[in-house]
Amino acid sequence: MAGHTDPLVGCSGFEWDEANAHKNWERHRATPEEAEDAFFNEPLVARSDIRHSRREKRYYALGQTSSGRYLFVAFTIRKSLVRVISVRDMNRRERGAYAKHENEAGA
C-alpha cells in the first residue's frame, strides 16, 4: 500500500452487526467469514471512503477470498475492531483496479 496509510494497522479482529450480516447475505450471498477471509489474502487494497465518511470515518477494501471470490468490503474501525458495513462482489471497475495490485504483487 505504498503512498497510502494502512487503516488496518492496530486492528485486532472483527465486530459484526447482525442486521448487516443478514443484509449482506440476502443482497449479495456473502457471509461474514468470506468478508473476513478477504482481509487475510494478498494483495489487499484498503483505502479511505471519503464519500461515505459523514458520521464516522469509513474505508473500503478490495480483496480476494481463499476460494477466489473477489470482494468489495465497506468497513469502519471501532476501537481496534474492523466493523464490516457491506460486502459484495467487485464490479468491473473495482476488479480492474485490483488487477493492477495483483500484477504489482506478482512482479
What is the chain's pLDDT, residue by residue, as a tens digit (107 residues)? 445 668 899 999 999 999 999 999 999 999 999 999 999 999 999 999 878 767 889 999 999 999 999 999 999 999 999 999 999 999 999 999 999 988 887 65
Please write the tens of the pLDDT for every residue from 30-59. 999 999 999 999 999 999 987 876 788 999
Q: Could you give the C-alpha distances from 75 to 52, 84, 104, 105, 106, in angstroms and in order?
A: 10, 4, 25, 24, 27
On whether the CB atoms of residues 76 and 85 are closer than 8 A, the answer is: yes
